[in-house]
Structure 1
Amino acid sequence: MSVYTYDLETIRGEQQSMEQYKGKVLIVVNTASKCGFTPQYTDLQKLYEQYKEQGLEILGFPSNQFGEQEPGANSDVQSFCQLNYGVTFPLFAKTDVRDDSAHPLFKHLTETAPFNGFNTDSPSGKMLNAFLSEKLPHYLEGNSVKWNFTKFLIDREGNIVKRFESTDEPLDMKADIELLL
């Protein structure tokens, strides 16, 4: 099954098919406005600006499932992203990305690209792993999205190539993106 089979709701409430992104390299990322990883919007936007003309699309999916770090309405999210980070890549309606209520796209992404742990050599990887181990150990079970800013890299044919966890910086994805462009 390809990512193109899914329908989505944009942040403005319009229905959209993933088919519109056929032939593009995609980064699908769940986001939040009040998270320690929220500054990743800056580097996601840089990647978008650098590679958009070569066929990269970044699709942002705000989610309020992690510590209620995306409490506002869709219009609040859109304003926040534009005003604070200059985000011009497509944003979608607030979306559940884990557990039984997860959008089918995210169920497909996590089934296809399993969780391989956090890089605990990095301070943020060590911190997030310790936090989840202590406070939310069930989050570490299975392949579901573990926290905000989990990123999935998808090739031009709709195949999921690689999963990057919240603690992986967007600019660290450059070499993998360039291979697909």
Structure 2
Amino acid sequence: MRHRLSSIFQSKKGRNLRNLLSLQPPKMSSMAFSTTFFTPLHDFTHARTNPPTSPSFPFVKSSFASSNSTFFDPSLSLRTSSTFPRLFIKPRSFSVHARAATEKTIYDFTVKDIDRKDVALSKFKGKVLLIVNVASRCGLTSSNYSELSRLYEKYKDQGLEVLAFPCNQFGMQEPGSNEEIKQFACTRYKAEFPIFDKVDVNGPFTAPVYSFLKSSAGGFLGDLIKWNFEKFLVDKNGKVIERYPPTTSPFQIEKDIQRLLAA
């Protein structure tokens, strides 16, 4: 047996096998790729020690569908609330140019009024439009409806139109039927401006006219409408000029309306 093994190792195949067994593994320094190739662009190994905190919103607890709901407390105005996000505040500068260039105008859309009849918004050509998503049971309802009615009465003969779109997406604060909404607005607040069919202003079923409004004037939280009574100001050419957060009262928009009416 020992003689046979000796013969094998002395043969050509045996010498090759002996050389193979004597090979050493290659050193890491001879490998073709460098460890610096794997250096990350950013160091994600350390967790953030001070994560950002969410801003405080002037929301208070409520029963969403209650007529006494004050989910969005109107008493917390922008001037007095230090916790309200500064990005909600309307810029001081006013521009008579639309924020987003688009080929469409508000006149390209047809909507249904409160009686579910089609209304082509092209009927408002040449007028200044203040478009608002309204609700009947919101803490902002009384002040907004009252001021919208007074602005409309004051400037309607000069070319202002207020277009109100009821929406039940915020705290379910517009739960009534179209007939109930019409009765509420016209009886309690003497609203004479046009009120339209109830719509969605966010989500997959957003009304096309609101998709246009949001794409023309972005805001805090992107394109989302934040709450009841967010406002869009449209010039005489059907272009969106400015967007105002829910806590901006209609009276605060009066000077902007006057500029557009005079343009």
> C-alpha distance in 2, partners of 1:65/1:6?
22
> C-alpha distance in 2, partners of 1:61/1:165?
16
Spell out, residue by residue over 1:144-171, the C-alpha distance to the aligned partner (whole angstroms, 9 max, x if none).
Answer: 2111000100000001000011010100
Is the counterpart of residue 151 in structure 1 residue 231 in structure 2? yes
Spell out, residue by residue over 1:76-105, the C-alpha distance to the aligned partner (whole angstroms, 9 max, x if none).
Answer: 000000111110000001011111211011
Q: How many residues align?
A: 157
Query: Shift of the alpha carbon at 1:143?
Result: 1.5
Q: Output the amino acid matched with 1:77.
A: I
Query: Max radius of gyration: which structure?
Result: 2
2:133 pairs, out of 1, 14, 30, with 30
What does residue range 1-181 of structure 1 map to in structure 2 within 5 Å?
A: 1-39=104-142, 40-116=144-220, 141-181=221-261
Of Structure 1 and Structure 2, the greater helix share is in 1
> C-alpha distance in 1, partners of 2:117/2:255?
33
> C-alpha distance in 2, partners of 1:179/1:64?
32
1:122 corresponds in structure 2 to none
> C-alpha distance in 2, partners of 1:142/1:154?
19
Query: Shift of the alpha carbon at 1:142?
Result: 2.1
SS at match of 1:29: strand
> C-alpha distance in 2, partners of 1:15/1:167?
31
2:28 corresponds in structure 1 to none
Contiguous gaps of at least 5 residues in structure 2: 1-103
Percentage of matched positions with identical amino acids:
41
SS at match of 1:82: helix
> C-alpha distance in 1, partners of 2:136/2:162?
17
SS at match of 2:209: helix
CA RMSD of aligned residues (A): 0.7
Q: Output the amino acid matched with 2:156.
A: K
SS at match of 2:141: coil
Contiguous gaps of at least 5 residues in structure 1: 117-140
TM-score normalised over the length of structure 2: 0.59
